[in-house]
Amino acid sequence: MASKMLSFKVRVEVWLKEGLVDAEGKTVEEALNDLGYRVSSSRVGKVYEFVIKAGDEEEAKRLVNEMCTRLLANPVKDKFIYEVKKIGVQ
Amino acid sequence: MASKMLSFKVRVEVWLKEGLVDAEGKTVEEALNDLGYRVSSSRVGKVYEFVIKAGDEEEAKRLVNEMCTRLLANPVKDKFIYEVKKIGVQ
Amino acid sequence: MYNKLPLPFELYEVDILKASEEDLLKISSEMGLNLNLNEMKAVKEFFVKRGRNPTDVELQTIGQLWSEHCRHKVFKGLIVNDEGKIVADNMLKNFIARATEEINAPWVLSFLEDNAGIVDFTDEHAIAVKVETHNHPSAIDPFGGAATGIGGVIRDVLGVWAKPIALIDVLCFGPLDYPYDKLPKGVKHPRYIMRGVVAGIGHYGNNFGTPTTTGAICFDEGYVGNVVVYAGCVGILPKPKYIRRVKPGDYILVIGNKTGRDGIHGATFASADLREDSEVSSRPAVQIPDPIEEEKLKRAILRIRDEELGSGITDLGGGGLAVAVVEMADRIKGGATVWLDKLHLREKMSPWEIWISESQERMLMGVPKDNLEKVLKIVNEEELECSVIGRFEDDNRVRVFFNDYLIVDLDVSFLLSPPKIVRKARWIPPNYDEPSFPEPENLNDELLRVLSSPNIASRENIIRTYDHEVQGNTALKPLHGEHGGPNDASIVKPLDRSWKGVVISVGLKPQYSKIDPYWMAASSIEEALRNNIAVGGRRIAILDNFTWGNPEKPDRLGQLVEAVKACYDFSKAFNTPFISGKDSLYNESPLGPVLPTLLITAIGIIPDIRKAVSLDLKSPKNPLYLLGLTRLELGASEYYRLKGFIGKSVPKVYVNESRKAMECVTKAIDRGYVRACHDLSEGGLGVAIAEMALSSNYGAVVDLSRVRREGVSRNDLVLFSESNGRFLLEIEKKSASEFEKLARDLGCTYSKIGEVSSDGSLVVSGINGEIVIDLPISEIRRAWKEGLKW
Amino acid sequence: MVIRILILRAPGTNCDEETARALREVGAEACIVHTNKLLSNEVDLFSYHGLVLPGGFSYGDRVRAGAIWASKLKSRLMEKLMEYALNGNPILGICNGFQALIELGVLPFTRRTDLNPKAALAPNISSKFEARWVYLKCHSNTCIFTRYIDVNEVPRMPVAHSEGRFILGEGLSGEELSKRGQVVFKYVKANGAPANSEYPFNPNGSMFDIAGICNEDGNVLGLMPHPERAVYDWQLPDYTSVRRYSGHADGWRIFKSMIEYIEEEIR
Ligand SMILES: Nc1ncnc2c1ncn2[C@@H]1O[C@H](COP(=O)(O)OP(=O)(O)O)[C@@H](O)[C@H]1O
Ligand SMILES: [Mg+2]
């Protein structure tokens, strides 16, 4: 760990895979239509934002991908996308 | 309603306001650190995606803003951001 | 071999008439039927007699109905030893059911037959109970798997027209500090699994609105590759409303969720590549839980029940519509016609998928023509969807149509009688030594270490994420009082106009199966009973839930036979009938088989919940009595485990002693002698007294030399022996002599081993009179409360 | 004449039956009615003396706890509901019902001009569901629901929720609410000392330790704890230890107060 560590700002979005029932999405859609809006195809997901330390962008991406499969998403039912942006040296 | 209606793809993100403890963000951060990642400043939000019908982009934005304050966010604790993109004519 | 028929929907004819043995196996595997050669031959024979080939839907129907999950083939099969001699024939009938039949208790209203077991409660009401396993789904998706486990077992209880009043969750995980780098590929870390499972159970129970009152959690290396999730549900129903009078002509309704591709077994025609991990028999796709949908279902079902509009009901569980329709038709010794295209769907699916989909939150109901309109109105008011998909018939045939085209035409009796399987079993006891290590000098540290072991420490962090009081009827709670003491059982008072309570407890001793599965099972039964009796329960019925490894391996099956034998022996010996249960076999992972695990759930009653006894010490100077004999029985004990040993001397069950102790406790409670009571289990006497004290604001003084013991002469071993049959009681001081007389009259081994103290510490003197433990209760409480960090 | 109370339910409401039992225990007739029946005017709110929004997970607490329920009521019942409240009819929101009243903007202020919520119930600081008994201190002598509870008394009730962290909107102060008698219950320690945000006495991280508030007129109360689970002494978590039974527990007094108010002021 002697090498210099960089900080990266990470954004992860986790969505239920297509084909699985998104009950929350359905409820939201109904409620919005009740309120008089003409809404369809509603889906609900989660966003995570955090800062991570890594040696370089490659590593940061690898780590984030790992975190997604190990904790933030369940690859069996979720799909996820992420972005990693360098924010500075430590 | 005689006038032609357009469809817009909408994305809304809802986050707890800065200054309020984001308990879920904290829990995720702890769990990620448990797993050996060096993560900080973690926050968790919700994303909604849906399609809405409106006369034009102005109207679509106005409607989405309204939906956010009426249902998707509670302005006392939440902040929200949204994007509206035209996807076609009906 | 598959011939697509020229129809506007997907249907294949499968050429089985000309299939060779090899072809038969290929069909079974390509279609994901999971049938062996013998079974496939029986299928072929059936169609040869019919003189036609089956459709894919028919083969899938047979695959589902003949599955291990639905037919309990191992439990009903023939089991032989290495010499080919029969060791068991139909264990379900000849061990489990036989015990219940021989006991022949008049208060058992329905057992091992309907969706849930049913026992008498009051003049008007009965109690229904079911416990399920949901291991495989929870391994794949801990949150969804555990949640749908709860959802599924709730539907079993709704499936006997009962209202759910309590939930049970019993969970086994790998050690939370298991090294990540030792995990085989594809196996998730116990921490991740536990977080998901606990959240899933809380999510479903809390949203659905039934209190999760009872459970257990166990950690062992044997669960790293195979998480174990038991989900149970207790319900109540007015006896006259237990309606099962479906008649030919009654409509078949499916109420609830839209049907989609959930839980359809992994294999399709396209993906021929299955079973690369050959120990795992099926990998149902994930199921998405929706407790609110089920809450609506509950409302509708209870309204339909109260107005007596339905003629029969069952849940849609494993095997989906195929299994539910056939089993319901069989109940009336009749048949059914189904119009499969009428079902409300979420997506476009082929007929076989619709027929066996395991979409959650759906129920099947029989409704007489005249009541249809009223049922539909209720369903509508509860914002549920519903389809009339068929009609019951008086022949023994199940016929399924899709767009008026006949796609299934099978005999009900054929579907319910798969060829009997024959399996080999071998039981070779392991050869462990009794460990020898010096007696530790400081038992303070030993006690604190045992108390903070994850297997013993407080479960408060988990239990408080479950709503255990919704419905407002939880009279004795899983967490007692201010300090969250670990009560032995919980009590629910389900009726406003009666003081009667339902007492719910469990017994779980999987560690003991490392030494001997027979005594593991015996101990589990005995512990479940003792837990129940400790709070005032009686007239106890039990449920068995097995989680085992691959029964095709003789050693696994050998252990299973041992455990099943014990089930018969001790159910009979304690006069406690089995009313329901379930087995989950094939729990294997790259790390080997699951630790053989038997959950015993005990359902007792207490005539008046105001007489319930909790474990916390109540007032200083009251004497403490130990019932039962302490033996040198530390094999697979928590104490040995923490020292790195297994040992040999697994606790046995001495029925006579045990029954006397139980009778003594019940009588003493009824006569008002007992202020506090706790059973001795993991961690033995040391943990029991510590838990009683830490649950209260008092302390205790205990003298180990007064403990009635046999063959134990070391303080640590007396303190941590896990001998069965023991209770620790706080007796009202003024009743002490009456209590002793009662114990003597019953011929019960008892001894006054100390008393409640007011100075807030636990002081234990050893066999030779020296002080071996002196600890402030606050420190004991901290160790116990902080042991299970996650 | 009997006192009739409407208990409103929605899909996922799951504390309606025990709430009805609590009301019957104090002599009222409790009618459990589906929200849709009110929205469709099949049932008239004004034919009831009081309204209770019970606990549960209405519509699965999707979006936010109580948000969907509130939006359904907002879309078709808002004016009636306001009129009902302003007429002085008692309205009680328990747990999910409290969340809905906050989302509706009926609490903390029923008399107001704009429709936006002025408070929120955010996810618990522990980020977990919390089921535990808490001690409350009563701070209001104007709220009609505490006629049977004296100021500074310390009643005990269980909470069971994951979104109960009370947050007051910008520009509003707790003191101001307090002064007007709108802070009805605060979380405290067993001896009545302030919880001062300390977990688990304040189980969710609520601002000013607020557990329950009422409107300006004192006839609308919302609280996170469940009084309907503390109606009888046998529901207490240490019932077997105390052996000092009175028949009823503290939650009973809230329902009793409600009914007495109706008897004296409304009927
Ligand atoms: N191993 C077992 N021990 C005791 N009872 C069992 C066992 N397996 C099944 N049963 C009982 O047989 C009946 C039918 O079981 P099953 O078909 O598994 O029900 P379901 O499909 O509704 O879960 C139930 O009452 C169940 O409890
Ligand atoms: Mg069933």
C-chain CB neighbours of A70 within 8 Å are 188-189, 192
Query: DSSP state, C395?
Result: S
Q: Which of D240, D230, D93, D200 is nearest to C464 (CA)?
A: D200
Going by CATH, does the domain composed of D4-265 fall within 3.40.50.880?
Answer: yes
Q: Token digits for C387?
A: 């389809």
What is the model's pLDDT at position D267?
64
Helices (H), chain D: 16-25, 35-39, 67-86, 96-104, 174-179, 239-242, 251-261
What is the model's pLDDT at position A89?
60
Q: Which of D13, D84, D92, D88 is nearest to D55 (CA)?
A: D13
> Is the CB of residue C366 less than 8 Å from the CB of residue C251?
yes
Specify the amino acid at residue C280: V
Pairing relation of β-strands C479-480 and A39-54?
A: unpaired
- C580 in ligand 1 pocket by Cβ < 6 Å? yes
Distance C321 CA to ligand 1 centre (A): 18
> Is the CB of residue C662 less than 8 Å from the CB of residue C530?
yes
Q: Per-residue pLDDT tens for C620-657?
A: 999 999 999 999 999 999 999 999 999 999 999 999 99
Count of C-beta atoms within a 10 Å radius of residue C711: 12
CA distance A68 to chain B (A): 10
Q: Determine the Cα–Cα distance for residues A41 and C268; give it in Å rounded to an integer.
A: 29
Contact B34 C191 (CB under 8 A): yes
- C581 in ligand 1 pocket by Cβ < 6 Å? yes
CA distance D191 to chain B (A): 28
B-chain CB neighbours of C180 within 8 Å are 35-36
Every domain of chain A and the residues it spans: 6-89
CB proximity under 8 Å: C 183-202 to D: 202
C404 Rama class: left (phi>0) / alpha (psi -120 to 50) / beta: left
From C580, C583, C599, mutation site for ligand 1 pocket: most ligand atoms within 8 A of C-beta: C580
Q: Which of the residues D15, D49, D95, D143 is marked catalytic?
A: D95
The answer, for B76 touching chain D at a CB cutoff of 8 Å, is yes
Q: Determine the Cα–Cα distance for residues C549 and C517; give it in Å rounded to an integer.
A: 13
- C316 in ligand 1 pocket by Cβ < 6 Å? no
Count of C-beta atoms within a 10 Å radius of residue C371: 17
What is the model's pLDDT at position A5?
87
Task: Point out the residue among D62, D74, D75 whose CB comes nearest to the CB of A28.
Answer: D62
Q: Which of D62, D220, D34, D196 is nearest to D145 (CA)?
A: D220
Distance A22 CA to ligand 2 centre (A): 26
> Is the CB of residue D35 less than 8 Å from the CB of residue D72?
yes
Q: Determine the Cα–Cα distance for residues C229 and C142; give it in Å rounded to an integer.
A: 9
Q: Is the dihedral of CA B6, B11, B17, B21 positive or negative?
A: positive
What is the model's pLDDT at position D244?
64
Q: Is D240 helix (H, G, I), strand (E, B) or coil?
A: helix
- C317 in ligand 1 pocket by Cβ < 6 Å? yes
What's the full length of chain A, in residues? Answer: 90
What is the model's pLDDT at position D230?
97
Using the CB atoms, write b or e for D99-115: b if 16+ within 10 Å: bbbbbbbbbbbbeeeee
Q: Is C110 helix (H, G, I), strand (E, B) or coil?
A: strand
Residue in the structure block whose two tokens are 């998730």: C188
Task: Please list the ranges in chain C whose pLDDT falls under 50.
Answer: 266-284
The answer, for C620 touching chain D at a CB cutoff of 8 Å, is no
Distance C317 CA to ligand 2 centre (A): 6
B-chain CB neighbours of A41 within 8 Å are 49-51
Chain B: list its partners (3+ Cβ pairs within 8 Å). Answer: A, C, D
- C72 in ligand 1 pocket by Cβ < 6 Å? yes
Count of C-beta atoms within a 10 Å radius of residue B79: 15
What is the model's pLDDT at position C558?
97
CATH tag, B6-89 = 3.30.1280.10
- C92 in ligand 1 pocket by Cβ < 6 Å? yes
Q: Determine the Cα–Cα distance for residues C357 and C316; give it in Å rounded to an integer.
A: 9
Task: Point out the residue among C141, C260, C347 whose CB comes nearest to the CB of A74.
Answer: C141
Q: Determine the Cα–Cα distance for residues C651 and C566; give it in Å rounded to an integer.
A: 14
Nearest CA to ligand 1 atom 12: C112
Q: Is C95 helix (H, G, I), strand (E, B) or coil?
A: helix
Residue in the structure block whose two tokens are 């007129």: D217
Q: Determine the Cα–Cα distance for residues C95 and C76; give it in Å rounded to an integer.
A: 10
User: Virtual CA dihedral for A5, A6, A9, A10, nearest 10 degrees?
Assistant: -50
* Relative orientation angle of helices C655-670 and C736-746, to the nearest 10 degrees: 150
The answer, for D60 touching chain A at a CB cutoff of 8 Å, is yes
Contact A46 B46 (CB under 8 A): yes
Q: Which domains does chain C have, with CATH numbers?
A: 2-71 (1.10.8.750), 613-790 (3.90.650.10)
Residue in the structure block whose two tokens are 């209405």: D58
Q: Which residue of B has its CA nearest to D119?
A: B76
Taking the CA of C364 as reference, the closest ligand is 2
Contact A34 D63 (CB under 8 A): no
Q: Which of C382, C240, C262 is nearest to C316 (CA)?
A: C262
Task: Please list the ranges in chain D whose pLDDT falls under 70.
Answer: 243-245, 267
C contact test, residue of D72, D240, D245, D246 with most C CBs within 10 A: D240
Contact A77 C288 (CB under 8 A): yes
> Is the CB of residue D62 less than 8 Å from the CB of residue A28?
yes
Q: Determine the Cα–Cα distance for residues D76 and C184; give it in Å rounded to an integer.
A: 56
**Phi, psi of D189, deg, nearest 5:** -85, 170
Element (H, E) at C321: helix C320-331
Task: Please list the ranges in chain B whose pLDDT falls under 70.
Answer: 1-3, 88-90
Q: Determine the Cα–Cα distance for residues C637 and D56; give it in Å rounded to an integer.
A: 42
Q: Which of D121, D110, D118 is nearest to D220 (CA)?
A: D110
Q: Which of C152, C107, C72, C101 is nearest to C586 (CA)?
A: C72
Contact D71 A31 (CB under 8 A): yes
Task: Point out the residue among C143, C188, C260 whose CB comes nearest to the CB of A21.
Answer: C260
Q: Tell me whether residue D138 is one of the annotated catalytic residues.
A: no
Atom of ligand 1 nearest to the CA of C115: 22
Q: How many CB pairs under 8 A join B and C?
A: 4
Q: Which residues pair with B45 in a beta bridge?
A: A47, B15
What is the model's pLDDT at position C170?
98
Q: Token digits for C479?
A: 């967490």
Within 8 A by CB and 6+ apart from C147, the residues are: C200, C201, C203, C204, C289, C291
Q: Tell me whether residue D228 is one of the annotated catalytic residues.
A: yes
State CA C127 to chain mean position distance. 16
Distance A50 CA to ligand 2 centre (A): 45
Q: Determine the Cα–Cα distance for residues C82 and C554; give it in Å rounded to an integer.
A: 9
Q: Per-residue pLDDT tens for D54-80?
A: 999 999 999 999 999 999 999 899 999
Nearest CA to ligand 1 atom 3: C581
- C129 in ligand 1 pocket by Cβ < 6 Å? no
What is the model's pLDDT at position C578?
98
Pairing relation of β-strands C251-256 and C386-393?
A: antiparallel
What is the model's pLDDT at position C279?
28
- C339 in ligand 1 pocket by Cβ < 6 Å? no
> Is the CB of residue C662 less than 8 Å from the CB of residue C529?
yes
Cross-sheet strand order for the sheet of C538-547: C474-476, C490-492, C501-508, C597-606, C538-547, C578-584
Residue in the structure block whose two tokens are 């807030």: C760
From C160, C544, C582, C597, mutation site for ligand 1 pocket: most ligand atoms within 8 A of C-beta: C582
Q: Determine the Cα–Cα distance for residues C358 and D69; give it in Å rounded to an integer.
A: 30
Q: Is D180 helix (H, G, I), strand (E, B) or coil?
A: coil
Q: How far is CA A49 from CA B14, B24, B43, B72, D64, in A?
A: 12, 12, 5, 20, 20
Longest dimension (CA), chain C: 90
What's the full length of chain B, in residues? Answer: 90
What is the model's pLDDT at position A3?
62
**Phi, psi of C440, deg, nearest 5:** -65, 150
B-chain CB neighbours of A38 within 8 Å are 5, 52-53
Contact B67 A43 (CB under 8 A): no
Q: Tell me whether residue C483 is one of the annotated catalytic residues.
A: no
- C75 in ligand 1 pocket by Cβ < 6 Å? yes
Count of C-beta atoms within a 10 Å radius of residue C394: 12
Helices vs strands, H then E, count in chain B: 2, 3
Q: Is C207 helix (H, G, I), strand (E, B) or coil?
A: helix
Helices (H), B1-90: 23-34, 57-67
Give pTM, 2 decimals: 0.95
Contact D60 A23 (CB under 8 A): yes
